[in-house]
Structure 1
Amino acid sequence: MFKHSSAIINKLPSHRLMALDVMRGLTITAMILVNNPGSWGAMYWPLKHADWHGWTPTDLIFPFFIFIVGMSITLSVNSLRAKRISDQEILKAGVIRTIKLIALGWFLALFYYNFRDPSFSWVDDKLLQLRVLGVLQRIGLVYLVALCCYLYLSPKKIAITCITLLLFYGAAMLYIPYTLPNGEVVSGLWLHGNNLSAFIDNTVLGSHHLYYANAKPLPFDPEGLFSTLPAIASALSGILAAVYLTKQPDLKKQARTLILLGTLAVIAGYAIALITPINKALWTPSYVLLSSGLAAIFYALCSAILDIYKLRSWGAPFIVFGANAILFFMFAGVFARLLIMIPLGDSSLKGSIYGLIQLVISNDHLASFSFSLLFLMVSYGVMYGCYRKGIFWKV
Structure 2
Amino acid sequence: MKNSPQPNLDISSPDFASNTHQPGGSNKRLLSLDALRGFDMLLISGGGTFLVLLKGKTGLAAVDWIADQLTHPAWNGFTFYDFIFPLFLFMAGVSLVFSLNKGMALGLEKQLLYKKALKRMLILICLGILFKNAPIPFFEPSQIRLGSVLGRIGLASFVTTVLFLNFNGLQRLGWAIGILVAYYAALFLIPVPGYGAGDLSFEGNLVGWFDRTFLPGRLLQGTYDELGLLTQFPAMCLTILGSLAGAILANNASEVNKIKWLSLAGVVGIGVGLVWGLHFPINKHLWSSSFVLLTAGMAFLFLMAFYTVIDVWKIRKWAFFFQVIGLNSLTIYFGYSFINFGYTSRKLFYGLYSPLPEEWHRVFEAFGALLLVWLFLYILYRKKIFIKV
> TM-score, length-normalised on structure 1?
0.83
Partner of 2:377: 383
Match of 1:23 among 8, 14, 36: 36
**SS of equivalent to 1:310:** coil
**SS of equivalent to 1:47:** coil
Contact 1:132 1:209 in 2 (8 A): yes
Match of 2:206 among 193, 196, 201: 196
Contact 1:9 1:316 in 2 (8 A): no
Once the two structures are superposed, the pairs formed by residues 74-113 of structure 1 within 5 Å of their partners are 74-112=97-135
Aligned-pair CA distance for 1:67:
0.5
2:214 equivalent to 1:220: no
Shift in alpha-carbon separation, 1:278–1:330, aligned structure 2, 3 A = same
**SS of equivalent to 1:296:** helix
- Which letter does structure 2 place at the counterpart of 1:62? F
Partner of 2:288: 284
Distance 2:4 2:247 in 1: 28
2:188 equivalent to 1:174: yes
Aligned-pair CA distance for 1:46:
1.9
Distance 1:374 1:352 in 2: 8
Partner of 1:32: 45
Contact 1:233 1:288 in 2 (8 A): yes
Distance 1:262 1:38 in 2: 27
Once the two structures are superposed, the pairs formed by residues 342-357 of structure 1 within 5 Å of their partners are 349=343
Aligned-pair CA distance for 1:156:
2.3
Partner of 1:118: none
Contact 1:200 1:225 in 2 (8 A): yes
RMSD: 2.9
- Which letter does structure 2 place at the counterpart of 1:88? Q
**SS of equivalent to 1:192:** coil
Which sits farther off after the overlay, 292-301 or 236-245?
236-245
Shift in alpha-carbon separation, 1:320–1:291, aligned structure 2, 3 A = same
Partner of 1:345: none
Partner of 1:333: 337
Partner of 2:82: 59
Contact 1:31 1:62 in 2 (8 A): no
Aligned-pair CA distance for 1:31:
2.1
Shift in alpha-carbon separation, 1:39–1:48, aligned structure 2, 3 A = closer
Partner of 1:260: 264
Shift in alpha-carbon separation, 1:350–1:21, aligned structure 2, 3 A = closer
Match of 2:219 among 210, 213, 233: 210
Contact 1:177 1:187 in 2 (8 A): yes
Distance 2:79 2:306 in 1: 20
The CA deviation string for residues 70-110 of structure 1, in whole angstroms up to 9 with x for no partner, is 11111110011001111111111111111111111111223
Contact 1:97 1:140 in 2 (8 A): yes
- Which letter does structure 2 place at the counterpart of 1:99? L
Contact 2:231 2:287 in 1 (8 A): yes
Partner of 2:245: 241
Aligned-pair CA distance for 1:185:
3.8
Match of 1:157 among 149, 164, 171: 171
2:148 equivalent to 1:134: yes
Shift in alpha-carbon separation, 1:254–1:198, aligned structure 2, 3 A = same
Partner of 2:58: none
Contact 2:52 2:68 in 1 (8 A): no
Aligned-pair CA distance for 1:229:
0.3
- Which letter does structure 2 place at the counterpart of 1:201? D
Shift in alpha-carbon separation, 1:175–1:41, aligned structure 2, 3 A = farther
Partner of 1:250: 254
Shift in alpha-carbon separation, 1:378–1:90, aligned structure 2, 3 A = same
Shift in alpha-carbon separation, 1:360–1:39, aligned structure 2, 3 A = farther
Aligned-pair CA distance for 1:310:
1.2
Partner of 2:96: 73
- Which letter does structure 1 place at the counterpart of 2:375? G
Aligned-pair CA distance for 1:165:
0.4
- Which letter does structure 2 place at the counterpart of 1:151? L
Aligned-pair CA distance for 1:241:
1.4
The CA deviation string for residues 134-158 of structure 1, in whole angstroms up to 9 with x for no partner, is 1111111111111111122222221
Partner of 2:312: 308
Any unmatched runs of 5+ in structure 2? 7-21, 56-63
Aligned-pair CA distance for 1:194:
2.5
Match of 1:274 among 258, 278, 283: 278
- Which letter does structure 2 place at the counterpart of 1:24? R
The CA deviation string for residues 315-345 of structure 1, in whole angstroms up to 9 with x for no partner, is 1122111111112211112124x96xxxxxx
Shift in alpha-carbon separation, 1:355–1:26, aligned structure 2, 3 A = closer
The CA deviation string for residues 231-252 of structure 1, in whole angstroms up to 9 with x for no partner, is 1111111011111222353122
Counting aligned pairs with the same residue, the percent is: 27
**SS of equivalent to 1:92:** helix
> TM-score, length-normalised on structure 2?
0.84
- Which letter does structure 2 place at the counterpart of 1:157? Q
Aligned-pair CA distance for 1:258:
1.2
Shift in alpha-carbon separation, 1:39–1:56, aligned structure 2, 3 A = closer
Partner of 1:321: 325
Distance 2:296 2:80 in 1: 13
Aligned-pair CA distance for 1:34:
6.0
Which sits farther off after the overlay, 372-381 or 40-49?
40-49
**SS of equivalent to 1:186:** coil
The CA deviation string for residues 137-188 of structure 1, in whole angstroms up to 9 with x for no partner, is 1111111111111122222221111000000001101111011xxxx24221
**SS of equivalent to 2:283:** coil
